[in-house]
């Protein structure tokens, strides 16, 4: 098969990280097929991709058998990325059954496609497999402290099961696999309403609303800019010697949620009210990756400083919420200037008609 006939499948490619990965692969000359059910992805993420001659979008849910638009070209796939799953706690807890099935049933369908095609397969797992960790920072050999019955278990345990399935395929010689454990990622293309800490803090600050801190804000996170995460995934897919071990992908710079809030407020240039809310059940107290394995295997580490990434993200959210929004805007101003999101079918139709 010639290089021009080879396809790269990105499940979840219309999502936050997936859309950046698709763009990166297209820029590298790949022919990309994006598979997404649009449950939590944003149609506007597709608008920037559909005009590219080497990009194709297929709307389908990987909890069901893959559609003919995918399986009819099985022999053409040489790379399969699985980024399909809601990643923010409010979104994945909204339909926990679907979250679990996406991680297990969906991964199974994609692994079988990889087996049939001979494609290399990459699963995007998560730092949530470490739960509320007792090891700090977290290394890949740490087995985690995870509740299998709590409200986050549909995601945490779903990803753990997806890793098990992926490595079992590899151990049985059925697929060439990679597993990335992604830590907190932020940047453009995030949904303002997705409920994650960076988007919450920035959008509340832009709107002039009180900024919500869950608990006392002493819990820590590490934040990796989205293009750094996408580049790590691309490198992980292409490295040849990997072994049956996952790879942490994240930024080892650790800060408290309160420190993140203080940074955003400082960059806004005006004071903001802060309100505390109860800490969610099973919320991790500390989260920081050990990325020695990524450095050694991929020659990768984050290149974007937090301050630069936060500034770029703030600028993107300000534009997303309305080009004429200023730091003194009210919630009503933001609602009035918020751009209407077109339906996915409208974007596809517009692209087809030119």
Q: Which residues are catalytic?
A: 155
**d(C-alpha 118, C-alpha 174), whole Å:** 9
Q: CA 115, 118, 124 angle in degrees (round to 5)?
A: 70
In this structure, are residues 146 and 88 in contact, taking their beta carbons and an 8 Å threshold? no
Strand partners, 178: 122
- Helices marked H in 239-343 — which ranges? 257-268, 292-298, 306-321, 331-337
Distances (CA, A) of 194 to 64, 80, 98, 223: 25, 26, 17, 16
Beta strands, E only, the chain:
7-11, 32-36, 55-59, 77-82, 120-126, 176-182, 185-186, 211-214, 220-222, 224-225, 247-249, 254-256, 274-277
Cβ neighbours for 39, distance < 8 A, ≥ 6 positions apart: 61, 86, 95, 98
**d(C-alpha 27, C-alpha 302), whole Å:** 20
* CA 71 to centroid of chain Cα atoms: 25
Main-chain phi, psi angles of 38, to 5 degrees: 65, 20
In this structure, are residues 127 and 287 in contact, taking their beta carbons and an 8 Å threshold? yes
Q: CA 87, 91, 93 angle in degrees (round to 5)?
A: 100
Cβ neighbours for 305, distance < 8 A, ≥ 6 positions apart: none
């Amino acid at each position: 098969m010639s290089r021009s006939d080879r396809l790269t499948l990105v499940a979840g490619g219309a999502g936050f990280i997936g859309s950046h990965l698709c763009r990166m692969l297209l820029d590298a000359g790949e022919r990309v097929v994006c598979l997404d059910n649009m449950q939590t992805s944003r149609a506007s993420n597709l608008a920037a991709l559909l005009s590219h001659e080497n990009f194709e979008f297929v709307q389908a849910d990987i909890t069901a058998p893959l559609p003919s638009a995918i399986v009819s070209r099985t022999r053409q796939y040489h790379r399969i990325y699985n980024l399909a799953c809601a990643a923010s706690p409010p979104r994945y807890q909204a339909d926990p059954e679907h979250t679990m099935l996406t991680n297990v049933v969906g991964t199974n369908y994609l692994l079988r496609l990889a087996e049939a095609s001979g494609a290399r397969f990459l699963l995007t797992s998560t730092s949530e497999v470490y739960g509320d960790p007792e090891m700090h920072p977290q290394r890949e050999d740490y087995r985690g402290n995870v509740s299998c019955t709590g409200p986050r278990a549909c995601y945490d345990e779903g990803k753990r099961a997806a890793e098990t399935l992926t490595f079992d395929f590899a151990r049985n010689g059925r697929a060439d696999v990679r597993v990335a454990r992604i830590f907190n990622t932020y940047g453009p293309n995030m949904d303002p309403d997705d409920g994650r800490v960076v988007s919450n803090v920035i959008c509340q600050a832009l709107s002039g609303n009180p900024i919500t801190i869950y608990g006392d804000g002493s819990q820590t996170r590490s934040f990796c800019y989205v293009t750094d995460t996408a580049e790590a995934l691309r490198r992980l897919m292409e490295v040849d010697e990997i072994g049956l071990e996952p790879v942490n992908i994240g930024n080892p710079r650790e800060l408290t949620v309160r420190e993140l809030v203080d940074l955003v407020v400082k960059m806004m240039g005006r004071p903001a009210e802060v309100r505390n809310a109860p800490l969610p059940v099973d919320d991790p107290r500390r989260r920081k990756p050990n990325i020695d394995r990524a450095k050694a295997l991929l020659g990768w580490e984050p290149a974007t400083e937090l301050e630069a990434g936060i500034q770029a993200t703030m600028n993107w959210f300000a534009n997303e919420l309305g080009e004429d929004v200023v730091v003194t805007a009210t919630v009503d101003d933001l609602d009035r200037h918020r751009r209407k999101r077109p339906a996915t079918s409208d974007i596809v139709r517009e692209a087809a008609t030119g």
